[in-house]
A and B are shown apart, each in its own frame.
Chain A
Amino acid sequence: FSCKMPPKEDAKNQDAQRLSAVIIAESFEPRFHPITSDKSFGDLAICDVRGIDYSLRWLSRCDIANVVIVVSEKHAPAYHSIESLWKGVFDCVTLVICQNAHSIGDALREVESRNILTGHFLLVPSPISFCSSTLENQIKAFKQRFKKDRNAVMSLIYSESRGDGTCVAINENGRMMAFHSQSDPSQLDSETNEFRATVTIRNDVVDTGIAICSLQALAHFSDNFDFQTRDEVIRHILVNEDIMLQYVNVDVLPSFESAISVFDYSGLIRSNSQLISRLFFPLFPFKCNKNVLINSGNVITSGRQRVRIDGWNSFVGENVSVGTNVFVTSSSIAKKCTLESNCRIVESIVSEGSVIGEGVSLDQVFISNNVIIPKGQILPKKVVIGPNVKLNGSIKVKEGSFISCTPPDEDIEDSVETEKLFDGVYSWIGKTGRDWWSGEWIGREDDDGDDKKDDNKEKEGEEAEDEEGEYDVERVFTSEVLDSLRPALTDKISQETARQIIVEINSSKIAYNISMDRVAALLFVAFLRMPDNNVFSNLKKRMDNYIQILRNYYSNRDGQLGLLEGLNEHLSSNRESFSPLVAKTIHHLYEKDILTEESILGWHEDLEKNDPMIPLVKELIEWLEESDEEDEDEEE
């Protein structure tokens, strides 16, 4: 369906064109909402520097011309300053302000509707995403592949991992054969477990979330409003490989390069410690007009203060007061915090203005702004403490819980168990195995359950319908095509309308999974079914009006055979009214160069001897054969 592709000149430019980057500055992750409250996720500070600044600094090292930042309406004001700060660095920084985006899919649909992107783009799905590489080779490889085969619509960036990898099957050309399963990333999402010997199945890599996409990949979001995440589109492409012919590539970064996109708290902690240990250098907590000192043991301090801390690979912000014998490792302490004596902080983040009491030990804990953890409070691993929580020292906190000042709001109420610890302090913990700390928070689990049921139903249905099913689907498809053809129109259709009609037919084609030659047949059936077509003058006029669409679908021999097949089908259901028109229709289409002599004759030869069509077209065929011979004579 060539009509959906951008014009050819664009395609040539795309090779030379520099990429754009699309950053989704919001997190649609419900677990982050309580800690970001009135700010966007991109505003969350890592080592006292806004998370999105790291991402933009990374992009500034890549060969990126334009940056598109998608942000929700309520967070937009803060982003105008980000836009002005970074616009000198890129050719253009565009803010796309969404009103009601609830997922990455919604955000990308908004981008698509604005028509900002003109070529390939780098999808940065989280505002805290960065990479030690400039992706130069990956981008080059993507462009080359796309030049050769326009169905290579997407390239996913994977990096090597330390064991907790996701599973993926890749063939020898780097093409993805199977994606990881949604419920268990360590398993393949594939019905078959058999692959050719050239296919590699890897689980030592992890999906960074960063992807190089062509506009075709973006079109999937706008074609189907149900797609919420990038992964759904990837699964869609893989499942419909036979129909759409599109495929996804996997690029594993070389072992010296690292990349991360933050989607959960464990990712946040990891990005924090990796930044500090200079895995992403030159991305580093450098800040305007503030000196950053790197002390022995890679303890980074900001400002002019001297702090005495045991431990290593840590960040200590400005105006932090530190007691004696404080141990901090792989953690960051934001500005204006207080660490009392004998604290022990490992792999944790303590945000601005919080107080950690004497002798408190934190291991894998995320602490938001202005929290007070008093002396004697014991915190297990993987705990998140929300903003402004003041604990009183004797509370039992469960592993993996979230401590908040407020009970959960409606959005998340159903998926967490709430316990009131004391006045104004609540403990939330994910229901049914949902983990607040890491992994996918399948907030739509209930929906998923339904989906699965639906799937089962469909499967059962499919088996029963196997024989009639196909016919049913075709009937629905035909009636949709009939609608798309806009039977009410009586004038010659404009270029624009023709384009719309073609797009609609193509999307119905994908939706009902109809093969191309059946589309050709069914389209003509639908065409003939349009009202008042039983009078030839009307039909003739229609054929002239819709000539653009007919040309689009019947340009090759297969299409034309499909048309004639459709004609046959229509005849079988409307024998009386349509019989007299058959020959005239074919003749008219021949005159208009829609049908060629070859395909008419070929089709005629394939008809069975007792086919009711034969007598109807007898004269026409004879005439065609004669003229054919005459032509040959003339040539001789």
Chain B
Amino acid sequence: MAQVDAPAAHDINEIRTTFVHNLAKGHTRENSLKIAQATVNYIRRIIALEKYENIEDLLNVLRTHLRYSISLAPTELVVRNIFLIAMKLAREENMRVLVGVDKEVGNPYDSLNTLWKAEENSANASATGKKMRKGLAATIKEILVELDSSRELIVSRAVLQLNDTVLTYGVSSSPTLRFFLESARRTIKMRQILSVSSQLDDHSGPDFTSSISLRDVAAAMTDVTKVLLPVSVVFPDGSALMPAGSLSIAHAAARHAVPVYGLAAFYKIAPYYSADAASAVNAQAGIGLPVKLADSLRHRVILSPVFDVVPAHLLSLYISNSGAVLPSHMYRLIADYYHPEDLTEEL
């Protein structure tokens, strides 16, 4: 736990409030990549400025900061993911300092037998804060590099075929999806890109797309060969949170056996499934009604869904920065980014 009167603590508190308030700053929400980058930078400051003697201290410090951030900005699920990724890296750094760089560090998802043996090597020891600080700063920086390259890597997988008719949704709010389409367009001229516009998202897509309304999707689906959707959060079971309206598109696609692709960078993969994720997140948005009307309805509950939960069986493939992943394989990626012990505590 950070000491309040320590000279560094004063600074870090300021960084913390600034970070949290910047999340809600401005009129429109920043895209998730920007938020992820801001979170990594914030964690770097924590690692540089906070005081910790061993791995337990460090994890507690990170947990405290995480709890503070998500209590004030619970809608930003990306923040939590990045923090948990950082915590896993901290654990690995601890092991590396203890065991040495050359030796293989035990994977917590290994078989029980392997884990049992690995545990004996590093019984109860832990690295000092000083040693960790240096190494960890470097590894955390790697997340930043990975973040920076994630969009390019996703975009580089944009290979579509000549006769494809692509249907997309929410292009204006997802820069990754837009770059993806532009890149696909550069490699090959597709027949048509249909951009679905809803009332919430009434900016038309890029010039090369033709805009259709949500209610025409079912009719247009007969011509469509691929559906591309932006993803907000991917759950381990392969289901995903997507902009409201995506569920009906996915259903229409399933009806016509059109494959549905979701664009999801690694930081969007949530470590655990939350049964009421949609209702929890949906409840936390503005209601988007004229004030007069809303005021006269103040004894009613106004639902204004922002996200749909699209179940795994409606999705064909996730395009991630590390490759294309089947929804049913999503749970394997969790081991790459998260440590099981960080996930046990309810945050």
Q: Give chain A's interface residues, CB within 8 Å of chain B.
A: 57, 60-61, 85-89, 132-134, 136, 159-162, 253, 255-258, 273-274, 277-279, 281-282, 284, 286-294, 296-298, 312-313, 329-330
A281 and B285 contacting across the interface, CB-CB below 8 Å: yes
How close is B251's CB to chain A, nearest CB, in angstroms?
A: 24
A287 and B71 contacting across the interface, CB-CB below 8 Å: yes
A298 and B301 contacting across the interface, CB-CB below 8 Å: yes
CB within 8 Å of A: which B273-288 residues: 279-280, 283-288
**Residues of A with C-beta under 8 A to B26:** 61, 134
30 A–B contact pairs at CB < 8 A?
Answer: A57-B24, A85-B17, A88-B21, A89-B17, A89-B18, A89-B22, A160-B292, A162-B292, A162-B295, A253-B291, A258-B295, A274-B298, A277-B287, A277-B294, A278-B283, A278-B285, A278-B302, A279-B287, A279-B291, A279-B294, A282-B286, A286-B72, A286-B74, A289-B68, A292-B74, A294-B279, A294-B280, A294-B284, A298-B301, A312-B301
A61 and B25 contacting across the interface, CB-CB below 8 Å: yes
**Residues of A with C-beta under 8 A to B286:** 132, 278-279, 281-282
How far does the alpha carbon of A289 sit from the alpha carbon of B67 in the complex, in Å?
Answer: 6
**Residues of B with C-beta under 8 A to A282:** 24, 75, 286
Q: Identify which of B15, B72, B284, B290 contacts A281 (C-beta below 8 A).
A: B284
Given A88-B18, A89-B17, are A281 and B287 also a contact pair (CB < 8 Å)? yes
B284 and A289 contacting across the interface, CB-CB below 8 Å: no
B71 and A329 contacting across the interface, CB-CB below 8 Å: no
How close is B249's CB to chain A, nearest CB, in angstroms?
A: 26
How far does the alpha carbon of A281 sit from the alpha carbon of B289 in the complex, in Å?
Answer: 12
B344 within 8 A of A: no
B296 and A162 contacting across the interface, CB-CB below 8 Å: yes
User: Which residue on chain B has the smallest CB distance to residue A299?
Assistant: B301
How far does the alpha carbon of A449 sit from the alpha carbon of B228 in the complex, in Å?
Answer: 72
Query: Count of B residues near A, CB < 8 Å?
Result: 37
Q: Identify which of A86, A288, A313, A329 contacts B72 (C-beta below 8 A).
A: A288
B300 within 8 A of A: yes
B84-107: CB near A (< 8 Å → 1, else 0) gives 000000000000000000000000
B21 and A60 contacting across the interface, CB-CB below 8 Å: yes
How far does the alpha carbon of A587 sit from the alpha carbon of B292 in the complex, in Å?
Answer: 71
- 17 further interface pairs, Cβ-Cβ under 8 Å (given A161-B292, A256-B291): A61-B24, A61-B26, A88-B14, A132-B286, A132-B291, A136-B27, A160-B291, A274-B295, A277-B294, A277-B298, A278-B284, A279-B295, A286-B72, A294-B283, A294-B284, A298-B302, A329-B299
User: Which residue on chain A has the smallest CB distance to residue B303?
Assistant: A298
CB within 8 Å of A: which B179-218 residues: none
User: Which residue on chain A has the smallest CB distance to residue B11?
Assistant: A88
User: Which residue on chain A has the smallest CB distance to residue B17?
Assistant: A88
User: Which residue on chain B has the smallest CB distance to residue A302?
Assistant: B71
**Residues of A with C-beta under 8 A to B291:** 132, 159-160, 253, 255-258, 279
A288 and B68 contacting across the interface, CB-CB below 8 Å: yes
B61 within 8 A of A: no
How far does the alpha carbon of A253 sit from the alpha carbon of B283 in the complex, in Å?
Answer: 25
A-B pairs, top 9 by smallest CB distance, nearest first, are: A294-B283, A88-B14, A281-B286, A88-B18, A258-B291, A255-B290, A89-B21, A312-B301, A282-B24
B284 and A256 contacting across the interface, CB-CB below 8 Å: no
**Residues of A with C-beta under 8 A to B68:** 288-289
How far does the alpha carbon of A86 sit from the alpha carbon of B18 in the complex, in Å?
Answer: 8
How far does the alpha carbon of A274 sit from the alpha carbon of B68 in the complex, in Å?
Answer: 25
A255 and B292 contacting across the interface, CB-CB below 8 Å: yes
Q: Give chain B's interface residues, CB within 8 Å of chain A.
A: 14-15, 17-18, 21-22, 24-27, 67-68, 71-75, 279-280, 283-292, 294-296, 298-302
B71 and A330 contacting across the interface, CB-CB below 8 Å: no
User: Which residue on chain A has the smallest CB distance to residue B291?
Assistant: A258
User: Which residue on chain A has the smallest CB distance to residue B15?
Assistant: A88
How close is B226's CB to chain A, nearest CB, in angstroms?
A: 35
Q: Identify which of A87, A284, A296 contacts B284 (C-beta below 8 A).
A: A284
Q: Identify which of A136, A277, A292 contacts B302 (C-beta below 8 A).
A: A277
How far does the alpha carbon of A277 sit from the alpha carbon of B295 in the complex, in Å?
Answer: 9
**Residues of A with C-beta under 8 A to B290:** 160, 255-256
**Residues of A with C-beta under 8 A to B289:** 256
**Residues of B with C-beta under 8 A to A274:** 295, 298
A291 and B71 contacting across the interface, CB-CB below 8 Å: yes
How close is B56's CB to chain A, nearest CB, in angstroms?
A: 20
B292 and A288 contacting across the interface, CB-CB below 8 Å: no
**Residues of A with C-beta under 8 A to B287:** 277-279, 281
How close is A313's CB to chain B, nearest CB, in angstroms?
A: 6
B283 and A313 contacting across the interface, CB-CB below 8 Å: no
**Residues of A with C-beta under 8 A to B296:** 162
How far does the alpha carbon of A291 sit from the alpha carbon of B22 in the complex, in Å?
Answer: 20
Given A60-B24, A134-B26, are A286 and B73 also a contact pair (CB < 8 Å)? yes
User: Which residue on chain B has the smallest CB distance to residue A258?
Assistant: B291
**Residues of A with C-beta under 8 A to B17:** 85-86, 88-89
How far does the alpha carbon of A296 sit from the alpha carbon of B75 in the complex, in Å?
Answer: 17
Given A60-B21, A286-B74, are A313 and B299 also a contact pair (CB < 8 Å)? yes
B72 and A296 contacting across the interface, CB-CB below 8 Å: no
Q: By CB atoms of chain B within 10 A, which of A57, A88, A160, A296 has the most?
A: A88
**Residues of B with C-beta under 8 A to A292:** 71, 74
User: Which residue on chain A has the smallest CB distance to residue B10?
Assistant: A84
**Residues of B with C-beta under 8 A to A273:** 298
Given A288-B68, A289-B67, A296-B279, are A134 and B288 also a contact pair (CB < 8 Å)? no
How close is A54's CB to chain B, nearest CB, in angstroms?
A: 12
**Residues of B with C-beta under 8 A to A312:** 299-301
How far does the alpha carbon of A229 sit from the alpha carbon of B27 in the complex, in Å?
Answer: 31
How close is B82's CB to chain A, nearest CB, in angstroms?
A: 19
**Residues of B with C-beta under 8 A to A85:** 17
How close is B271's CB to chain A, nearest CB, in angstroms?
A: 18
How far does the alpha carbon of A89 sit from the alpha carbon of B17 in the complex, in Å?
Answer: 7
How far does the alpha carbon of A278 sit from the alpha carbon of B14 in the complex, in Å?
Answer: 28
A87 and B301 contacting across the interface, CB-CB below 8 Å: no
How close is A296's CB to chain B, nearest CB, in angstroms?
A: 7
**Residues of A with C-beta under 8 A to B18:** 88-89
A330 and B67 contacting across the interface, CB-CB below 8 Å: no
How close is B77's CB to chain A, nearest CB, in angstroms?
A: 14
